[in-house]
Amino acid sequence: MFAIERLGKIKEILLKQKRVDVYELSELFSVTEVTIRRDLDKLEQAGFLVKIYGGAVLNEESEPDALSPASENDAYLEQKRMIGKIAGQMIENGDAIYLSPGTTCLEIARNLKNKRVTVVTNDMAIGFALKDSAGIKVIVTGGDLMPSTSTLVGGFAQQALDGIFINKAFIGIKGAHMDAGYTVGSHEEVMVIHSVKKISNEVIVVADYSKFNTTGFARLGDLNMTKKVITNKQVPSDYKKLYFENAVKLYTTFELE
């Protein structure tokens, strides 16, 4: 089990039981108590728990922002944060960028501190996360709000993209599959992304390694539809081979871990 998966399991236990014991966790995951204490340190730094003697308790005082996805319960949150750091290094002052809906692009937004950029997005959570960022101009497209999400789609969202130019568009996906290609959650999202591709100088797919060998509802395009992909070092080797053969540059979090 990867460390990020173990962190996700610890979170699940905490949410159910409200407290965890270091010894019990070390037995459950077959790792040392030192390793478990390091895991608890990371979760305490993230504000998810409070350490006590011999274990930890859930930090029930921490509440997510009203518009933010419940990302703290995401088993792949750390992987997405590392992707956000890599993407942040690719963004230069003066860039106009697009961030697609989702928690991975939300992490990119959180890595824009001290940048002077324009951010275009159809995700209200991303817009809300950047509301107090000096030097960043935020454009939220408007449109039809998809149920139970912060995603805006439809004709108004697409019209807002007319007549503007994007230097770099970062696209989050639901799945990447050898046969199905890239997929997202709905046809409405596909339509908005197609509009973004038309106005973007560069399109970059961002996806944690869990997205590979999975599929979403609506097909977005082939795996070589973009020339850059940001993911994690655990991405399956057959995808690395395919990207190499199609001259797609693969950026992973290996160097940052």
Mean pLDDT for each consecutive 10-residue tract of the chain (257 residues)?
Answer: 80 86 93 93 83 86 49 74 95 98 95 94 94 93 90 96 97 96 96 98 97 95 97 95 97 63
Q: Which pair of structure tokens corresponds to residue 79?
A: 């992987």
In 95-232, where do the E strands start and end? 96-99, 117-121, 136-140, 144-145, 152-153, 166-172, 175-177, 181-184, 200-206, 218-221, 228-230
Please name the residue that has the structure tokens 């173990």. Answer: 6
Domain range summary for the chain, segments of one domain joined by +: 3-58, 71-256
State the Cα–Cα distance between residues 92 and 46, nearest whole angstrom.
28
Over its C-alpha atoms, the chain yields an Rg (Å, rounded) of 19
pTM of the predicted model as reported, rounded to 2 decimal places: 0.74
Fold of 71-256: Rossmann fold (3.40.50)
Residue 104's CB is within 10 A of a number of other CB atoms, namely 30
In the chain, what's the furthest Cα-to-Cα distance? 60
Fold match, 3-58 / 71-256: no
| Domain covering 3-58 in this structure, CATH number | 1.10.10.10
